[in-house]
Amino acid sequence: MQVQQILKTKGTDGVFTVTPGTLVSDAAKILSEKRIGTVVISSDGSAADGILSERDIVRELAEKGATCLNSPVDNYMTRDLQTCTRADLADDVLARMTEGRFRHMPVVEDGKMVGLITLGDVVKARLAELAMEKSALEGMITSQW
């Protein structure tokens, strides 16, 4: 299964972005309101400059306290992004996410974001694929030729 198929099942390939300089408190509000785990930091709305997750915010709250909420997102964002393309295979993306211990990956083509997939999206797609394969195999075994 390709990333493109996962994006289609999500119903939307929109990515929530904030600009560098946005306060962490504002980013946290977006995460809460949209019930999402990450925002992409983008100066132009199409290129991914960085990513800020709930975990990043919690880590800084534990280390610096509530004062980090008044800091810009670019102070805490992950700058060295792992990205994929629509043509990448789900198994390859899953392996990269697992090895890197992260849950969100921007889908980028020609330098522009075309979507965002999560570890949950990939696992859900893989489970659906495995269920279809199981059903097909059971059909083959139980059919009377």
DSSP structure string for 30-53: HHHHHT-SEEEE-SSSSS--EEEE
Give the separation between CA 37 and CA 79, rounded to whole angstroms: 17
Domains in the chain, start-ordered, CATH in brackets? 3-139 (3.10.580.10)
For residue 112, count other CB atoms closer than 10 A to its CB.
Answer: 14
For the segment 117-131, what is each residue's pLDDT rounded down to a tens digit? 999 999 988 888 888
Do the Cβ atoms of 127 and 17 come closer than 8 Å? no
* β-sheet bridge partners, residue 113: 108
Query: If you average pLDDT over every residue of the chain, what do you get?
Result: 91
Would the pTM count as exceeding 0.75?
A: yes
Place of tokens 């400059």: 49
Give the separation between CA 30 and CA 107, rounded to whole angstroms: 20
For the segment 12-65, what is each residue's pLDDT rounded down to a tens digit? 646 899 999 999 999 999 999 999 999 999 999 889 999 999 999 999 999 999
